[in-house]
Amino acid sequence: MSPHPPGDDVHHRIVAVTLDEESIGRSGPDIEHERAIAIYDLVEQNLFAPEGAAPGPYTLHLGITGNRLMFDIRREDGTPVVAHLLSLTPFRRIVKDYFMICDSYYHAIRTATPDRIEAIDMGRRGIHDEGSRTLMERLEGKVRVDFETARRLFTLISVLHWKG
C-alpha cells in the first residue's frame, strides 16, 4: 500500500484532520482508538479533491453545527478553500445502528466465540460501508473521494455523533 495516491491525485489529498472539540462528546477508549486510527489512516492514504478548487494538499476540520455536518477545507497553509454543510439526517439511522453493533462487537471480543465475533464484525463492516456510500453520495458534486477515504471519514463522523 503506497502512502500517496497515484498520478495527479498526489495533490488531491488531506494532510491533516482536526475534529471540532465542542462537537465531540465523552467517549471511552474504544471510540478514542477508532478515532486515532481513522485519522492516521486517512492522512496516510486518501483521495480528496474539492470540486473546482486548485490542487491541494488540504487540511480538513470536521464538526457539527446545529443539524449539519461541517467540512471546513483549507490549504496546508490555512488559506480557506471551501466549507460544506451537509444535513445529518441521512446519517442518523446509520450511525445509531453502527453504534449499536459496535457496542455488541466490543462486548463480544471480550467474551464471545471467534465465530460470533466474526459474524458481528461482518455486520459492523456492512453498516460502515452503507454509511461510507451515503457520505460519497452526499459529497457528490462537492468533493471527490474514493471509497477508502469515505470509510475513514465516516468513522470520524460517527465519533462526532458519539455522546458517550
Could you tell me the pLDDT band of residue 103, with boundaries at 50, 70 and 90? confident
Q: Give the mean pLDDT of the chain.
A: 87
pTM: 0.86
Q: What residues does 75 pair with on adjacent strands?
A: 58
Please say if the pLDDT value at position 90 is more than 70. Answer: yes
What are φ and ψ of residue 80, in 5° steps? -60, 140
Chain segment 11-51, per-residue pLDDT in tens: 899 999 998 877 666 667 767 777 888 899 999 999 999 99
Question: What is the structure's pLDDT at 93?
Answer: 92
